[in-house]
Amino acid sequence: MSRRIHPAVAAAQPFQLAERDEIQGPLLGTPEGSERLEMVLSRYPEKRAALLPLLSFAQEKRGWVSPSDMEEVAAALDLTPAYVHSIATFYTMYNKHPVGRHLVQVCTCISCHLNRGDEVLDAFLREVGAREGEISADGDFTVIEAECLGACGFATVVQVNDEYFEDVTPEGVAAIVSELRSRE
Interacting residues toward other proteins by CB under 8 A: 6, 8-9, 11-16, 43-46, 48-53, 55-56, 77, 86-87, 90-94, 105, 108-111, 113-115, 146-155, 159, 161-164
- Residue 155 backbone dihedrals phi, psi, to 5 degrees: -70, 145
User: Which CB atom, from 65 or from 123, has the smaller least distance to other proteins?
Assistant: 65
Q: Which is nearer to other proteins, 113 or 174 (CB)?
A: 113
Distance between CA atoms of residues 10 and 50, nearest Å: 10
Q: Kindly report the backbone phi and psi dihedral angles of residue 133, in degrees, each rounded to the nearest multiple of 5, phi listed first.
A: 90, -10
- The values of phi and psi at residue 145, to 5°, are -85, 140
Q: Least Å distance between CB 77 and other proteins?
A: 8
Minimal distance in Å, beta carbon 83 to other proteins?
Answer: 9
* Choice between 47 and 174, CB closer to other proteins: 47
Closer residue to other proteins in complex, CB, 141/165: 165
The rounded distance, in Å, linking the Cα atoms of 11 and 37 is 10
**Nearest distance in Å: CB 112, other proteins:** 9
Pairwise CA distance, residues 109 & 149, whole Å: 8
CB of 72 to other proteins, least distance (A): 15
Grouping H, G, I as helix, E, B as strand and the rest as coil, residue 48 is: helix
